[in-house]
A and B are shown apart, each in its own frame.
Chain A
Amino acid sequence: MTRSVWKGPFVDAYVLKKAEASRESGRNEVIKIWSRRSTILPQFVGLTFGVYNGQKHVPVLVSEDMIGQKFGEYSPTRTYYGHAADKKAKRK
């Protein structure tokens, strides 16, 4: 069942506080969070969160197309490496 619209998106309060503090300080830092269930809000765009996957904090640079998803979706809890072959990485 989908979440009722009147409740608004769920975000753990400490995530909001940490994000706000980081944005105000203007420092280049990874915001460590354990809340995989929190929704990504528009004010998080451009910040880098370290989302805990049970073992380590996976850096997640938030972009506009991630709004509305949960942090946990970008920090997998199981390891799969695959093969490099001709796969490409882009510096953003």
Chain B
Amino acid sequence: MSDMICVGVIGGAFGVNGEVRIKSYTADPEAIEDYAPLQTEDGSKTFDIQITRGVKQGFAARLSDVRTKEEADALKGVRLFAPRDRLPNLPDDEYYHADLIGLSVYDTGGQLIGKVRNVLNHGASDILEIAIDGKSGTTLLPFTLAAVPTVDLTAGRIVADPPDGLFDDE
């Protein structure tokens, strides 16, 4: 589990008054404001953020200490991070994607299967994309109580009981 989570990126200046164009990665795009102050990847700069309006593919926003178009342009491509502990707590059986990614996946016999590479949702249920240990491919595991009976975030492990035939073509 990483301590810092990327919540958006600066797309450059918006207008000539020192506003920036922000692309938000949060589930509710406007919620990026709630995680302020945001940091750069190396932690060297911290910004308060105030969204002024919605624009094409993102938001126009005013960042603290950014007053001119030149300063805003210099920040183009800078990713914005928020500390993990600023995210609200979730009810049981609900997890942040950021917490699940990177967990080790074991079968019910204690054998290592692989690591969670990504969490997907194509409209049905959530799916874990697992990078199989020792192989180049990935496999998809439904994130259900039956297929994933145990998620232990503190130990960094998931116990999976995959349905028959899931790993056949890997």
Residue positions of A touching B, CB distance < 8 A: 27-30, 32, 48, 50, 56-63, 66, 73-76, 81-92
Contacts and interface: CB of A to CB of B under 8 A. Distances in A.
B49 interface: no
Contact of A87 (B8, B97, B163): B97
Interface of B: 5-8, 24-27, 31, 35, 87, 90, 93-98, 100-101, 118-127, 139-146, 148, 151, 161, 163-166, 169
Contacts of A76: 122
A-B complex: 6 closest residue pairs judged by Cβ atoms: A83-B25, A84-B97, A29-B164, A85-B25, A89-B126, A91-B93
A91 B151 contact: yes
A57 B143 CA distance: 15
B20 to A, nearest CB: 18
24 contacts: A29-B164, A30-B166, A56-B140, A58-B122, A59-B163, A63-B125, A74-B123, A74-B124, A84-B5, A84-B96, A85-B5, A85-B24, A85-B27, A86-B27, A86-B87, A87-B27, A87-B97, A87-B119, A88-B90, A88-B95, A89-B94, A91-B148, A91-B151, A92-B145
